[in-house]
Amino acid sequence: MPSIRTSLTEGPVGRRLIRLTIPMIWGILTTMLFSVVDTYFIGRLGPTPLAAIGFTFPVVFLVTGTAMGMGIGMSSVVSRAVGEGRHRNVAELTSRGLLLTALIVLGFVTAGLVLHDTLFRLLGASEELIPLIRSYMIPWFCGIILLVIPMVGNSAIRATGDTFTPSLIMVLAGVVNVILDPLLIFGLGPFPRLELQGAAIATILSYSVTFVAGAWILIRREKLILFEIPAVKELLDAWRRILYIGLPAVGTNLLVPLANGIITRIMAGYGPDAVAAFGVGVRIESLTMVGSFALSTAIAPFAGQNFGAGRRDRVWESIRFSFRYCLAVSTVLWVILAIGSRPIAGLFTDDPVIVDIIRPFLLMVPLSYSGFGFMLQVAATFNAANRPKYSVWLFLSRLFVFTVPLALLGSYLAGIPGVFAAMFIGNVGSGTLAWILACRKLRAT
């Protein structure tokens, strides 16, 4: 029988959510550190390797976004089984979900190795860059299972109410990556100089830490892996339940960068300085939103367990808490960014033109992150409640009802400040819609 360590169906709601969220903040920051560290060291090799690694980001994000979506599906079904007290079912769902994930990984690996050069030519890579991209992506594709399986497995661990262990594993992997990157990229000490290939190998080796640690936790501590051959009907039923949440989650994971990509295209009409400024703004946004991202990761197992246990009152209390949390955190961070807008912009560039574009972004958009953050919490709760269509509606409305149409209109009426105003209205609008849906579909009666 699996060892379920933490029940989230009892105790103060706010305190429970904060204790779940804090470890996830560190885990998410560490995940962000991976790409930052890789980009920093590869940038020391020169502009050509840096350009080559830039072409890998869409593929890497597609794979990691798929893994995150599968993790959301896993967290939803496992957390509800925990709340229902069906501990045997928890292990069955975890085992079968990881098997499904392994098959999906096999598909990515096969496609990546067979279609590698064609894929990156379609993305616009020149013949000069193809060999450099290949030196990074071939090892990455071969070791991708060490990345994806732990991401989905950690979701199962979080579903039991333990967010500390997955975050600790992520931090450990980040530390290993920081140590190995310069050694393998530049060939320091006894290590060979492998450049881009070294960056890929460092990443794979760091994720092997998460693979081993995650496997030990799942098999030995939590006893969530069953080494048995299930009946085909039971296997397919588990896969259907996970994919019912996982597939929409994969799609919604891709909508946020799609929205940023469309706005980048709009900003490109104002020249490279505007694009550079918006790029800085997006990076600041990702850091500012870490608290909301962490809470949405924490609220999923909380809501799932309480839905499974029939405690809709606690689910509604978590919605109310997340609203207050997002509003408070967003307001405090906006004050900091607004007061320090010029020096903060100066950390990223010394170009006065770019700084002057970044400042109105920081003065306006971050105040609306409470709406975006609250939308994330409600979407995560709907996924946990096995109602993914409402989560999809929220993300689609943010992109196609608010952000993109308003950005086009704002650009036409007021230029760059109009685009930033549209982003503000889009975040507030999506948060308002999330509140309306939550009141109608999630409120305890």
3-state secondary structure the chain: CCCCCCCCCCCCHHHHHHHHHHHHHHHHHHHHHHHHHHHHHHHCCCHHHHHHHHHHHHHHHHHHHHHHHHHHHHHHHHHHHHHCCCHHHHHHHHHHHHHHHHHHHHHHHHHHHHCHHHHHHHCCCCCCCHHHHHHHHHHHHHCCHHHHHHHHHHHHHHHCCCCHHHHHHHHHHHHHHHHHHHHHHHCCCCCCCCCHHHHHHHHHHHHHHHHHHHHHHHHHHCCCCCCCCCCHHHHHHHHHHHHHHHHHHHHHHHHHHHHHHHHHHHHHCCCHHHHHHHHHHHHHHHHHCHHHHHHHHHHHHHHHHHHHCCCHHHHHHHHHHHHHHHHHHHHHHHHHHHHCHHHHHHCCCCCHHHHHHHHHHHHHHHHHHHHHHHHHHHHHHHHHCCCHHHHHHHHHHHHHHHHHHHHHHHHHHHCHHHHHHHHHHHHHHHHHHHHHHHHHHCCCC
Q: List pLDDT tens digits, range 5-30.
A: 557 888 899 999 998 898 888 888 87
Q: How would residue 445 be classed by pLDDT, with cut points 50, 70 and 90?
A: low
What is the reported pLDDT for 20? 87
Mean pLDDT of 317-324: 95
pLDDT at 1: 43
> How high is the pLDDT of residue 277?
82
Is the model's pLDDT at 60 over the cut of 50?
yes
The whole-number pLDDT of residue 28 equals 81
In the predicted structure, residue 382 carries a pLDDT above the cut 80: yes
pLDDT at residue 418, as a whole number? 94
User: pLDDT tens-digit profile of 242-294?
Assistant: 999 988 888 887 777 777 778 888 888 888 888 888 877 877 888 888 899 89
User: Is residue 25 a contact partner of residue 10, using CB atoms and an 8 Å limit?
Assistant: no
Least reliable range by pLDDT among 47-61, 106-120, 210-224, 324-338: 47-61
Read off the pLDDT of residues 151-208 as tens digits, 9 standing for 90 and up: 888 888 888 888 888 888 888 888 888 899 999 999 988 899 999 899 999 989 998 9
Amino acid at 116: H
User: What pLDDT shows up at residue 2?
Assistant: 44
Work out the widest C-alpha separation in the chain, in whole angstroms: 66
**pTM listed for this prediction:** 0.84
